[in-house]
A and B are shown apart, each in its own frame.
Chain A
């Protein structure tokens, strides 16, 4: 399995619904980051949560981190068709050298 490993692999919802994606990892971390990728494009950084934080908000995004379970979740509230994309979590595996380890991602489809 990956570090991080997102689930579900694919999620399909209607506009206005909430979307929850999960990420699990195996090693200690300094921080965990979530990225978004529109089809065939580069990744865009969404939010970073440090290992000593439990929850963080940014607009319609809410990220939680449970270091005891080595897991994180990304919640997108009141989803929009424009939120359709792949979402990746990435960890640093405790390194301070800037390297990130990405999972396979969750493909989110939001239907109008």
Chain B
């Protein structure tokens, strides 16, 4: 247990569906991240939130919509996805104090399949 939980663990959705991924961290961290991990590719950083404010959007298509209501919770809202969006979506958190260094703590991921 890393202190970061993600739900659901598995999700199958059609291209016209709307679903949301949830991430919660119990570590008191103030930075949270969404990553996409596809087969044979490096981890792709999607979004970064520092103190609930989005500080990075790594050219992610608008069909992915993040939400960070507080420092402990992070959502990724999904709509009209494409089959190539099928991947493991990982959430992570880290402290952001005193200039670092910052280890990241990852959740177990949500395996998403778009049909």
Tell me which of A40, A50, A100 contacts B104 (CB under 8 A).
A100
Measured in the bound complex, the distance between the Cα atoms of B107 and A95 in whole Å is 23
Residue count of chain A within 8 Å CB distance of chain B: 25
- Please encode chain B, from 41 to 76, with 1 for each CB lying within 8 Å of some chain A CB and 0 for all others: 111010010100001100000000000000000000
Measured in the bound complex, the distance between the Cα atoms of B96 and A55 in whole Å is 25
Q: Are B111 and A92 in contact (CB under 8 A)?
A: no
Residue count of chain B within 8 Å CB distance of chain A: 30
Say whether chain A's binding surface is mostly helix, strand, loop, or mixed: loop
Are A42 and B101 CB-contacts (below 8 A) given A2-B42, A98-B31, A99-B56? no
Q: Are B42 and A45 in contact (CB under 8 A)?
A: no
Q: Are A30 and B107 in contact (CB under 8 A)?
A: no
- Please encode chain A, from 42 to 61, with 1 for each CB lying within 8 Å of some chain B CB and 0 for all others: 11110010100000000000
Tell me which of B4, B43, B48 contacts A88 (CB under 8 A).
B43
Q: Are A33 and B106 in contact (CB under 8 A)?
A: no
Across-interface contacts of B102 in A (CB, < 8 A): 92, 98, 100
Across-interface contacts of A92 in B (CB, < 8 A): 100-102
Measured in the bound complex, the distance between the Cα atoms of B74 and A90 in whole Å is 23
Measured in the bound complex, the distance between the Cα atoms of B45 and A58 in whole Å is 28
**B interface, CB within 8 angstroms of A:** 2, 4, 6, 31, 40-43, 45, 48, 50, 55-56, 88, 90, 92, 94, 96, 99-109, 111
